[in-house]
Structure 1
């Protein structure tokens, strides 16, 4: 039986024609990031979601993936006026205590979790959007440092090698909610 994980993939060219890489966003059912959701997924309200954004096709000894922003919208438009930020300025939204940043800027994979929500009572769809950048590990300034209030606290040298944008959706809230 073939199982197709629920994932979104973007193909990007590295600056100066140094090759191509892929950015993937994958949703998982478990904290070990071993069971990806498959096909279309019906989510439960308040269900914990595990998100991985990873880059493939780059040297993992040289680059790290950093999530700059991660947000949700009720429609398939990343610029929609209604949105909910899960991660901003590389740190969890201080107004959403369900967001837990697990790994950001330490390898080619960044991971976090959040609890499923809806925008309004009659809204059943959520679209996810993410802005990431590749960081050169040589400067050792890629990892994210968020204080207890989830605010970015350490000024970092800007070691952005390339940036990408990726979206996924819709995540559908199951009818039983």
Structure 2
């Protein structure tokens, strides 16, 4: 860390702020080796950016990486897109792109630049042709890149105003889960498009742009009558509260759909039997799965529950919530609840994320207990006799409304 601090002081004491254009795309980059190279920046931009938002500057002392030279003023710190706590200028929880007058990109990517947080070790340039195009330093919370504007796949062009524009791309990789009928990811990822513009002795910054989330679409058709699938939206508001309990204290109504979730955010699902008062009958879930459109038979698909049990090939196993007399429900056997984690469908050939909507479906069965059949769904059994004994008339398919993936929330500087 001392070596890194010294490097940053030498690099960024008189650094120029470069403009950034960023977009959220789905790409899967190749990784490249780490071989640092350094050149000293010389002068600040004459067009200072706005101060960093306060939430970007809330870091633990141990996480702070010095930005600029020792003794820098608050105005000088803001001029290079960094945070100031009264005595130290440091990088915030954002993507900070700086350019120098001697032709260097300096890019600092924070783990919390998106939500869910990025794995900064997965971040790389799209075209790392030279060995020195990897990060020059970093921590678990930040990755630091520094390279010439003429290297690492940078493209050169001239705009109508006569500026010479150097442009490059940076992306993060992600892990893909592959199933028999579809593929998904729960990792946060993004593509950063950044530029430096030069005109004579002038270097100008560009405003950072993030693609807006597309507007919600209409609600999907409801499932069959008498069985209802709904999503919990309750939240803990008191100390000692349990999320898995509070979530089912209230539910999204039809007017709330489509609803938005971020990757890996819990999705609380409840399936319940309607209009029945027989305390002996049992509602079971034969299979629950997700698709990218309202048609439950469409592909891609991703299993959540199989025979009422978590799909074992999902790294983030669905959690089934047990219900009994302590649940407060009048007929606990008329309900099934489970928690899954939000994901995005990806192309099964290229593994490129492409589907930002999810619909949840459950095939349900109403079971009548008998001496031979308790109706209890037991996991890890190869075959479940109860499913074979349920008449077709007692099986129903129910579906959720649309759940939209809210692409990784950016906390980057504007």
Other-structure match for 1:160: 390
2:295 is paired with a residue of what secondary structure?
coil
Q: Aligned pair count?
A: 158
- State the Cα distance separating 1:78 from its structure 2 match: 1.0
Is the 2:307–2:377 contact (alpha carbons within 8 Å) kept by the matching residues of 1?
no
1:34 to 238, 249, 264: 249
1:1-177 residue pairs with structure 2 within 5 A?
8-11=222-225, 22-30=226-234, 31-32=244-245, 33-38=248-253, 39-40=256-257, 41-96=259-314, 97-103=316-322, 107-120=333-346, 121-139=353-371, 140-146=373-379, 151-152=380-381, 155-157=384-386, 158-161=388-391, 162-177=394-409
Q: Which has the higher strand share?
A: 1
Is the 2:288–2:362 contact (alpha carbons within 8 Å) kept by the matching residues of 1?
yes
2:402 is paired with a residue of what secondary structure?
strand
1:117-166 per-residue CA deviation (whole Å, 9 max, x = no partner) reads: 010223210011110000003445211111xxxx3357434442511011
| In structure 1, C-alpha distance between the alignment counterparts of 2:295 and 2:383, rounded to whole Å | 32
- State the Cα distance separating 1:8 from its structure 2 match: 4.2
Is the 1:133–1:163 contact (alpha carbons within 8 Å) kept by the matching residues of 2?
yes
Is the 2:223–2:397 contact (alpha carbons within 8 Å) kept by the matching residues of 1?
no
| In structure 1, C-alpha distance between the alignment counterparts of 2:227 and 2:222, rounded to whole Å | 8
Other-structure match for 2:189: none
Between 1 and 2, higher relative CO (CA 8 Å, sep ≥ 6) is seen in 1
| In structure 2, C-alpha distance between the alignment counterparts of 1:145 and 1:92, rounded to whole Å | 11
| In structure 1, C-alpha distance between the alignment counterparts of 2:389 and 2:354, rounded to whole Å | 43
1:84-135 per-residue CA deviation (whole Å, 9 max, x = no partner) reads: 000112211001233011248x700011111110102232100111100000
CA distance 1:82–1:155, shift in 2 (3 Å)? closer
Is the 1:71–1:128 contact (alpha carbons within 8 Å) kept by the matching residues of 2?
yes
TM-score normalised by length of structure 1: 0.78
| In structure 2, C-alpha distance between the alignment counterparts of 1:91 and 1:35, rounded to whole Å | 25
1:37 is paired with a residue of what secondary structure?
coil
| In structure 2, C-alpha distance between the alignment counterparts of 1:7 and 1:60, rounded to whole Å | 28
CA distance 1:86–1:24, shift in 2 (3 Å)? same
Is the 1:141–1:159 contact (alpha carbons within 8 Å) kept by the matching residues of 2?
no
- State the Cα distance separating 1:176 from its structure 2 match: 3.8
Larger CA deviation: 38-47 vs 134-143: 134-143
TM-score normalised by length of structure 2: 0.35
| In structure 1, C-alpha distance between the alignment counterparts of 2:342 and 2:278, rounded to whole Å | 31
1:49-78 per-residue CA deviation (whole Å, 9 max, x = no partner) reads: 111100011234231100000000112221
1:95 is paired with a residue of what secondary structure?
coil
Other-structure match for 2:139: none
| In structure 2, C-alpha distance between the alignment counterparts of 1:174 and 1:159, rounded to whole Å | 42
